[in-house]
Amino acid sequence: MDTALTDWPKTEAGDPVPPALLVRAQNSREVLNARMTLTALGVPFLIRNPSPATFTTVLFGTELIGGDLYVPETLLEDAKILLTPPHSDEERSDMDYLDRYEAWLDSPALTPEERAELEAIRDDEAEIKDRFHAPLAFGTAGLRGVMGAGLNRMNIRIVRHTTQAMANLVLGEGEAAARAGVAVCYDSRNNSEEFARQAASVLAANGVFVRLFDGLRPTPELSFAIRHYQCAAGINITASHNPKEYNGYKVYWSDGAQMPPRHADIVSAERERLDLFTGAKTTDFDAAVAAGAIVMMGRETDEAFLDAVMTQSVARERIRDIAKDFKLVYTPFHGAGYSLVPQALARLGIQNVLCVPEQMVLDGNFPTVKSPNPEDKAGFAAAIELARRENANLIIGTDPDADRVGILLRDGQGEYVTLSGNQVGVLLADYLIRARKEAGTLPPNAAMLKTVVTTEMARAVAESYGVAMFDTFTGFKFMAEKIAELERAGSHRCIFAYEESYGYLAGDHARDKDAVVASMLIAEMACWYALQGMTLYDAMEALYEKYGAYGEETLNLVMPGVTGMEKMAALMARLRQSPPAAIGGTAVTAVRDYQSGTRRVTEDGAEERMELRDSDVLAFELADGTTFLVRPSGTEPKVKVYVLARGETRDELNEKIERYSEYTRRELAEDAG
């Protein structure tokens, strides 16, 4: 018992004064800080651990995440004052963002255009706060944000500042790393080319060799170029499928994968140390090119990349004849797939690649779509119109940086329907195993990868053929780590990796999702099934007949603005501290906490350690076999909820998905505010 409890006050009747909630702490540090303050000031308190339902006193170890702190209700107001600093965090934040705004306006480095943009918001405090409350957060995926002037925006100053930190990281690796250099790529977004040139100029000014693409290129080609030229690192200016207002700055390491945390931490620390306006060195871009400090990559790199992509074709010879008559519509959504995807399809033997002309125009405003996202069927309207007119068999679309791909195909009634990322991944997994078996190229130690939020149908398919299936966290950086781990161990050879959000990779030429190789394999697979008198729609139905009715639903709880991160953290803390006993009327049988790496059985409280840990993901296993997952997005202001279900019939499956989706909307959506 805490010594402070011996001083717990009593009522006139001699009973303990009722406890009152002082603070709901989200983590161990908050609990410990409050406890130390109260102890030092002689205020008695009780702590309720997240898991027990009764008051307990606890020892502070690594397993404690947070807790509720209670004090006697007669001392509640005094305790609140004692824990409140002279200025609250919110008040300090208010002062800080206004100070930062004025500091930017006072900087002589500001251009007239930047100054006018900032002066225009002088009377809009909400906009000032949004732009200056904090810098864009830098992590293993780099930066991503709305373009504009300000600390919390993507602009030239942020790009230069971050690139100087990147240059310092590379220089810290030694002269060999500086000579190996950094590959730089960009997509079709507004300002992408200028941001890429600015990044190249900063690197060159620091003595770091630069390989810059001579035009926009797919993200996977950057990953390939890093590996192909043995570069020390890579930078890609892209915001993937985000709306037109966004841009981003993705960072890669020497293996072609997104930057590992230890290096990202160095870049983040350097960004904090460097002055935003004066901390970056730079040089004239054209002079650096003339001096050989910046070398442009062009067709030679494209050819090497396409050669690597085509090595993943499994049945090119077998489909040769049918490929000549196969009609395929392609759209790059105004982005970087516009050149290499059609070339890969042509090399496969598809002679009728019909590109959507208005969407082949490179335009960062994405004028023909509301969102350049292949998950959104609305963006395929022009492609569907062309496919109907030309009686095409298949529609393929890639996002602006060509790392994700979506498809539409004809159903039994001849209508063009979408397949989800889960469905396309299952089709590809089954096809690659079957076709490789048929061709005699399936390794004896073949393995596949999927994420924890990806359908379990993929595991059922792989394991039915004796192919191992490994889970990773969401994001191809984790898949790249797993591929490298398997390579080092020599235990398995990964032939395919995918995530439900339309990202696929086959081959070892890249360490990021690749819509170029995926588009080629999807077309090959469609031709392979056409030889058997089947469409991909027929193939998916056949897999359901073989493995059962699997289905998935992803729901987004959007939490925008300054308070969004706080709301997301509060929701995850609540679900950890008070996990639901049932979801949608079905009992929770176990909870997997991927932050602590533990799986707890609800019936007896038994816990076991899991291989995966240190990621803010919760998975609730339900009595009917459904998995209900919750995780904050790493790139967008929202919490994502995944329902992974299976039913004996399609009707049973659909009922489960609707019931658990309704639970999400009813019980969790209120946390979004």
Nearest to 216 by CA among 305, 148, 297, 308: 297
Kindly report, residue by residue over 599-649, the tens digit of the pLDDT. 999 999 999 999 998 889 999 999 999 999 999 886 677 899 999 999 989
Distance CA 466, CA 527 (A): 25
Question: In terms of DSSP bridges, do strands 446-451 and 493-499 run parallel, antiparallel, or are they unpaired?
Answer: parallel
Number of CB atoms found within 10 A of residue 535's CB: 17
* The pLDDT of residue 237 is above 90: yes
Kindly report, residue by residue over 190-221, the tens digit of the pLDDT. 999 999 999 999 999 999 999 999 999 999 99
Token pair for residue 84?
């409140």
Number of CB atoms found within 10 A of residue 116's CB: 11
Query: CB under 8 Å to 472, separation ≥6 — which residues?
Result: 449, 450, 451, 452, 478, 479, 481, 482, 612
Strand-pair partners of 46:
70
Distance CA 12, CA 612 (A): 54
Q: What single DSSP character describes residue 3?
A: G
Buried b (16+ CB within 10 A) or exposed e, 635-652: ebbbbbbbbbbbbeeeee
Question: 274 by DSSP, 3-state: which?
Answer: coil
Mean pLDDT of 5-21: 73
Nearest to 57 by CA among 66, 45, 65: 45
- 8 A C-beta contact, residue 170 and residue 182: yes
Residue type, 146: V
Comparing 294 with 56, the larger pLDDT belongs to 294
Kindly report, residue by residue over 280-339, the tens digit of the pLDDT. 999 999 999 999 999 999 999 999 999 999 999 999 999 999 999 999 999 999 999 999
Mean pLDDT of 548-552: 93
Distance CA 251, CA 166 (A): 9
- 8 A C-beta contact, residue 455 and residue 499: no
Token pair for residue 120?
């225009």
Query: Phi and psi (nearest 5°) for 170?
Result: -65, -45
Nearest to 258 by CA among 568, 569, 561, 472: 472
Give residue 566's pLDDT band: very low, low, confident or very high (50, 70, 90): confident
Transcribe 310-344 into DSSP letters: HTT-SSTTTTHHHHTT-EEEEE-TTSGGGTHHHHH
In this prediction, residue 504 carries a pLDDT of: 98
Query: CB under 8 Å to 114, separation ≥6 — which residues?
Result: 149, 155
At what angle are helices 28-40 and 76-83 packed, to 10 degrees? Answer: 110
Comparing 52 with 513, the larger pLDDT belongs to 513
In this prediction, residue 41 carries a pLDDT of: 61
Kindly report, residue by residue over 492-517, the tens digit of the pLDDT. 999 999 999 999 999 999 999 999 99
Kindly report, residue by residue over 151-197, the tens digit of the pLDDT. 999 999 999 999 999 999 999 999 999 999 999 999 999 999 999 99
Distance CA 616, CA 631 (A): 6
Mean pLDDT of 32-42: 64
| Averaged confidence pLDDT in the chain | 89
- 8 A C-beta contact, residue 396 and residue 521: no
Token pair for residue 630?
């919750």
In this prediction, residue 20 carries a pLDDT of: 79
Question: 169 by DSSP, 3-state: which?
Answer: helix
Nearest to 594 by CA among 472, 481, 482, 483: 472
Nearest to 337 by CA among 379, 398, 381: 398
Tokens 């979408």 appear where? 418
Comparing 80 with 359, the larger pLDDT belongs to 359
H helix or E strand, kind and range, residue 607: strand 607-609
Tokens 């995918």 appear where? 498
Distance CA 387, CA 381 (A): 10
Tokens 């007239």 appear where? 112
Residue type, 637: P
Active site residues: 240
**Out of 87-101, 214-228, 368-382, 536-550, which region has the weakest mean confidence (pLDDT)?**
87-101
In this prediction, residue 4 carries a pLDDT of: 46
Mean pLDDT of 534-557: 94
In this prediction, residue 567 carries a pLDDT of: 85
Looking at the chain, the number of H-run helices and the number of E-run strands are 22, 26
Alpha carbon 244 to chain centroid, angstroms: 18
Nearest to 296 by CA among 227, 193, 219, 220: 193
Q: Where are the beta strands (DSSP E) in 341-476?
A: 352-355, 394-398, 405-410, 416-418, 446-451, 468-472
Q: What does pTM read for this prediction? A: 0.83
606: Cα within 13 Å, side-chain hemisphere? 5
Strand-pair partners of 233:
182, 253
**Out of 225-234, 552-561, 614-623, which region has the weakest mean confidence (pLDDT)?**
552-561
Question: 576 by DSSP, 3-state: which?
Answer: helix
**Out of 91-100, 125-134, 561-570, which region has the weakest mean confidence (pLDDT)?**
91-100
Handedness of CA 366, 368, 370, 375 (dihedral sign): negative
Number of CB atoms found within 10 A of residue 46's CB: 20
